[in-house]
Amino acid sequence: MIAQPPPKADVIARRSEIVAGLQALLPASGVISEALRLKPYETDGLPAYRQIPLAVALPETTEQVAAVLAFCHKNGVRVIPRGAGTSLSGGALPMSDSVVVGLMRMNQILDIDYADRCATVQAGVTNIGITNAVAAEGFFYAPDPSSQLACMIGGNVGMNSGGAHCLKYGVTANNLLGLRIVTMQGEILDIGGQHLDAAGYDWLGLMTGSEGMLAMVTEVTVRILRAPEGQRAMLVAFDANETAGRAVDAIIGSGIIPVALEFMDRPAIHACEQFAHAGYPLDAEAMLIIEVEGSVAEQDDLLNRIAALCEPFHPLSLRVSQSVEESVAIWKGRKGAFGAVGRISPDYLCMDGTIPTGQLPFVLRRIGEMSDAYGLKVANIFHAGDGNLHPLIMFDANRPGSFEDAEKFGADILKLCVEVGGCLTGEHGVGVEKRELMTVQFTEIELNQQRRIKTAFDPDWLLNPSKVFPLVEPPQAADLPAAA
């Protein structure tokens, strides 16, 4: 079980008083406090880490969020923000003395402005919900994390989520225009707006990827884009992971930027094919999904050039999607890949590191070697074009020691990513999962500078306090040396 800072005894002791205080602020169904009903809130998309919270609050408006946060601030109660609970880094893992504030009820689309191409939605709107709301008018919201069906935009901001199509369109940060946030003190602030870049410091940039530690996001204004005339996906199969890795490097190196360039290895291909029936090449060791978009002529030209770039790597097969249904099935398999691994393994750890694409063949070979050494299978599924790796380490939580081995293996992979010039996370965030590894990437001085930013917003470290930073010392303001 993951280490947590010691719970605040006084908060635990005032449990019923705190619950009553929350009940006074929210509708009756908005506060959960019975032990049995709290249990499903003990974890998120990373169920290996669990902790039952003190209570759960489900506000329906920004004002209610502000009231809850002000109340918790006044009472010294820690707060854990939660969206759909799909975090793969334990971003929504509660603490025993914390109130989980879930924004699932804030799921309204507030405003769509087609002329200025932006949409304002509440934080609990799902990622795909934005695209669904504007699709009829020929628009879409570009970042598309694989959990886009379920994950919520507030969480996307917190983790600066990416997705398959970010190769061309950028991650959440590149598609964000404005935020309404609530500070731990209960202040409601608007930053950015319906325009690009604001005067002064880039507060939007600071908030994006801050993992719910600086403020809670309640409303989000995003850029929406005109959908392309058309798009087509191509499946290219290879006889080895490394060969596929070299093909990725060749494509990116040539200057072509496909809208998506995704990699799946043999275990992933088999698991996903069972779920999606997309006609994935089951004889291949590795497969690339390459999608291009634009007019038909543009698509043809790009696909031909990409096919020619793949040719020297002797692909086993090369198939271009011929219909919308075929493309949908191809993406269904890829987007459902993490869950689909549940078909071949009872449990998995999904890693998330980023490397320079030139290092793909080397890193893939090293992951294969480590897999043999640890005796744990790996399914490799990732955004190859960005060099964003998602090795899924398969283990069996019912077998003692299996999870600990998987954790060590995962840490080794992430250290390797940093060694070759990459970083610890591409899009899932640090959460609790990778917080101890932050020292691999940053020096103590660098970490302390980041802690000071946290302290500036939340001097008492009440908001999502046990995430991102190593727990080597209690993360208290007083412990931080003054800035040099």
Partner 1 sequence: MQTNFTVEQLADPNVQSSNQVLRTCVHCGFCTATCPTFVLLGDELDSPRGRIYLIKDMLESGRPATEEVVRHVDRCLSCLACMTTCPSGVHYMHLVDHARQYIEETYTRPWHERMLRNVLQMVLPRPALFRAAVLGARVARPVRRLIPRGSTLGDRVHAMLDLAPGKLPPSGSMQSPQVHKAEGARRGRVALLAGCAQTVLAPSINEATIRLLTRHGIEVVIARGVGCCGALTHHMGRHDPAMASARANIAGWTREIEGDGLDAILINTSGCGTTVKDYGFMFRAEPAEWAMKAERVSALAMDISEYLTTLNYAPTRPMPGLRVAYHAACSLQHGQRVLNEPKALLRKAGFTVVEPAEGHLCCGSAGTYNLVQPAIAGRLRERKLANIARTKPDLIAAGNIGCITQLSGDGTPVIHTVELLDWMAGGPAPAGLPQVATAVPA
Binding site for partner 1 (CB under 8 A): 29, 32, 34, 36-37, 39-41, 43-45, 47-48, 58, 84-86, 102, 104-105, 107, 124, 126, 128, 147, 149-151, 274-275, 336-343, 346-348, 397-398
Q: Which is nearer to partner 1, 338 or 469 (CB)?
A: 338
Rounded to the nearest 5 degrees, what angle is found at the Cα of 218, between the Cα atoms of 464 and 66? 70
- The least CB distance from residue 40 to partner 1, in Å, is 4
Q: Which is nearer to partner 1, 86 or 160 (CB)?
A: 86
Contact 136, 224 (CB under 8 A): no
- The least CB distance from residue 30 to partner 1, in Å, is 9
Q: Which is nearer to partner 1, 36 or 115 (CB)?
A: 36
Contact 474, 466 (CB under 8 A): no
Q: Which is nearer to partner 1, 192 or 426 (CB)?
A: 426
DSSP code, position 354: E
- The least CB distance from residue 458 to partner 1, in Å, is 25
DSSP three-state, residue 78: strand
Q: Which is nearer to partner 1, 150 or 477 (CB)?
A: 150
Q: Give the pairing type, strands 353-354 and 98-102.
A: unpaired
- The least CB distance from residue 1 to partner 1, in Å, is 12
DSSP three-state, residue 117: coil
Q: Which is nearer to partner 1, 272 or 320 (CB)?
A: 272
Two tokens, residue 172: 């959440």
- The least CB distance from residue 332 to partner 1, in Å, is 9
DSSP three-state, residue 47: coil
- The least CB distance from residue 225 to partner 1, in Å, is 21
- The least CB distance from residue 336 to partner 1, in Å, is 3
- The least CB distance from residue 400 to partner 1, in Å, is 11
Number of C-beta neighbours around residue 146 at 10 A: 26
- The least CB distance from residue 288 to partner 1, in Å, is 20
Q: Which is nearer to partner 1, 323 or 398 (CB)?
A: 398
Contact 455, 477 (CB under 8 A): yes
Contact 56, 92 (CB under 8 A): no
Q: Give the pairing type, strands 231-238 and 260-265.
A: unpaired
Q: Which is nearer to partner 1, 34 or 197 (CB)?
A: 34
CA distance linking residue 44 with residue 85, whole number of Å: 5
- DSSP assignment of 163-213 equals -TTHHHH--GGGGEEEEEEE-TT--EEEEE-SSSS-SSS-HHHHHTT-TTS
Q: Which is nearer to partner 1, 40 or 421 (CB)?
A: 40
- The least CB distance from residue 70 to partner 1, in Å, is 22
- The least CB distance from residue 351 to partner 1, in Å, is 15
DSSP three-state, residue 371: helix
Two tokens, residue 276: 């999606």
Residues 6+ apart with CB under 8 A from 463: 69, 78, 79, 81, 184, 212, 213, 214, 215, 216, 457
Residues 6+ apart with CB under 8 A from 401: none
Q: Give the pairing type, strands 98-102 and 78-82.
A: parallel
Q: Which is nearer to partner 1, 300 or 407 (CB)?
A: 407
Q: Which is nearer to partner 1, 58 or 181 (CB)?
A: 58
Size of the chain, expressed as the number of residues it contains: 484
Task: Encode 371-389: b = buried (16+ Cβ within 10 Å), e = exposed.
Answer: beebebbbbbbbbbbbbbb
Q: How distant, in Å, are the alpha carbons of 346, 395, 396, 398 from that of 401?
A: 15, 10, 9, 9
Q: Which is nearer to partner 1, 45 or 212 (CB)?
A: 45
Sort 484 into a burial class: Cβ within 10 Å, 0-12 / 13-18 / 19+: exposed
CA distance linking residue 413 with residue 216, whole number of Å: 32
- The least CB distance from residue 144 to partner 1, in Å, is 14
Helix orientation angle between 266-276 and 324-335, rounded to the nearest 10 degrees = 120
